[in-house]
A and B are shown apart, each in its own frame.
Chain A
Amino acid sequence: MESEQIDTAREDSPAKKKNMIKAEGVKVWYDDFMAIKGIDMKIRTNRVTAFIGPSGCGKSTFLRLFNRMNDYVEGFRMEGNIRIQGNNIYSEKINIEQLRKEVGMVFQKPNPFPKSVFENVAYGLRIQGIKDKQYLQDKVEASLKQVALWDEVKDGLNKSALALSGGQQQRLCIARTLAVEPEVILMDEPTSALDPISTSKIEELLYELKENYTIVIVTHNMQQASRVSDSTAFFYMGELVEYDKTKKIFTNPEKKQTENYITGRFG
């Protein structure tokens, strides 16, 4: 890991930075339990970064730091800094709602709202106060096209999203996230509840999305990590054991623990 001076000022630059997310000395507790034991990490812009590791290793907790979803967990406490595009997202001044528009999230189980397909995708725009019908329609259509769902749902935009299949629901959730044009998309095991065909559709999607978005994906599926990601981070017991190019991690890992995990000897 390269060393760099910690700067507290906002780093303004018109061009996108090489690293979208920087974590410095991050520690997390849930009451007395230490879930993250000091992690430094940089996540590259417009790449797919995979977090792997056995259950309870802290990878989901770490992911949820980036959009401050852990704030709702009782007993959550954190130390250290996380910067996204140079902004310290745990500073007092940060607007959490604004942060979450920049850093979208897709969950493990598809969780569409009990509303129509259209309203699901339009939700992020509506809460920003956008009322222009034409704009909403264009944006919904564009977002659904981005996830290759448009052709399947264009005749039923007003039907309940709960009537869609699991795979369609998950793509809808991705479309919902894309509609607000985030910089980063966090995915917490997005395909673990889906069948293989839906899974491969979402993996293909990731490949296209990384041109414009920085994607961080937590996965339990080793093949998935090796297929979709550019970099892979292996977490174990709240620590970042190894973090490198995916190819390196899966062919020639530095650490014994990493090798044991990816070859299925534990975890």
Chain B
Amino acid sequence: MDQVFKYWGIFCTLLGLVLLAIFIGSILVDGVKRIDWEFITNLPSRKAENSGIYTALMGSVWVLVLTTIFALPIGIGAAIYLEEFSRKGKLSSILEVNISNLAGVPSVIYGLLGLEIFVRVMQMGSSVLAGSFTLALLILPIVIVSTREAIKAVPQSIRDASYAMGATKWQTVSMQLLPASFGGIMTGVILALSRAVGETAPLIVIGALAYVPFAPSSPMDDFSVLPIQIFNWISRPQEGFELNAAAGIIILLSITFIMNGIAVYLRNKWQKKLK
């Protein structure tokens, strides 16, 4: 029986990895030869071979930067409040459970929320700004949860020492807890952002375009992002666009892999520092 389970286990473990490897392999075969400087810097075009990813790439960069600016201070602020300031009681445990629940809400729902609040009520239109606010809402629960974990991981003895020295709560947070948990917080933030960069559904809902002639130059401009561009190319009948899609996937995957890599690196470095 042990033997049977062992092989079943090996099969389970490898299944996902092998499938991913096959997928990446086939993408690489198709896409690598399509990637060159022109592909990255060209605007979209009706002709597949002239078409580039520049507008979508810039759209993703814009969205990523603005999402970070919105989600970071709010997420970290909420986490600090919940971890260090709020009184532990019924209310805080209700808050806690709900924030965890928010992390599981399907992203398309966030899209609808963004459409109503940012696009319509606040009249931002289908702009980079509206998209960034929507994605910031989407990743906020992840940022909060991971920041709380990082702050919680700072040993209680550090808090004791700081308070015993006559530090106020804010001094303890800003001079001890945040520096000590910086690596952990960044790990969570980067993982959340790497999820945001791959999100498609909420941005489609708020009206991000599959085709924009120019890269956004202000937060109020129309925009597209990499996954939407890829989706658009795949749905075209002409053969050349398939190669474009493959090349686009390689770029998107590279971005998320690099971000995850940085997150893992920071996490390892930070764990060493705390010990």
Contacts and interface: CB of A to CB of B under 8 A. Distances in A.
B165 A67 contact: no
B175 A123 contact: yes
B180 A104 contact: no
B256 interface: no
A228 B144 CA distance: 49
Contacts of B88: 74
B167 interface: yes
A184 to B, nearest CB: 12
A97 B273 contact: no
B164 to A, nearest CB: 4
Interface string A103-139: 0110101011111000000011011100000000000
Interface stretch (B22-30, B31-39, B43-51, B154-162): B154-162
Nearest to B87: A74
A177 interface: yes
A162 B175 CA distance: 17
Interface of A: 67, 69, 72, 74, 97-101, 104-105, 107, 109, 111-115, 123-124, 126-128, 173, 176-177, 180
Which of B161, B163, B165 has the most A CB atoms < 10 Å from its CB? B165
Contact of A67 (B162, B164, B171): B164
A115 B160 CA distance: 16
Contacts of B157: 107, 109, 111
B176 A113 contact: yes
Contacts of A127: 165-168, 171, 175
Given A113-B158, A123-B175, A127-B175, A100 B164 contact: yes
Contacts of B161: 107, 111-113, 173, 176
Given A107-B157, A123-B175, A114 B274 contact: yes
A180 B175 CA distance: 17
Which of B158, B160, B161, B175 has the most A CB atoms < 10 Å from its CB? B161
A98 B165 CA distance: 9
Given A69-B164, A97-B166, 9 more contacts: A97-B167, A107-B160, A111-B161, A114-B274, A123-B167, A124-B165, A127-B165, A128-B166, A176-B165
19 contacts: A67-B164, A69-B160, A69-B164, A72-B163, A74-B88, A97-B166, A100-B163, A101-B165, A101-B166, A105-B164, A107-B157, A107-B160, A113-B158, A114-B179, A114-B273, A123-B162, A127-B166, A128-B166, A180-B165
Given A123-B175, A127-B175, A111 B158 contact: yes
Contacts of A99: 166
A123 B162 CA distance: 8
A104 B164 contact: yes
B177 to A, nearest CB: 11
B175 A98 contact: no
Contacts of A126: 175
Interface in B145-159: 155, 157-158
Contacts of A74: 88
Nearest to B159: A72
B165 A123 contact: yes
Contacts of A177: 165
B269 to A, nearest CB: 13
Contact of A98 (B160, B162, B166, B171): B166
A113 B166 contact: no
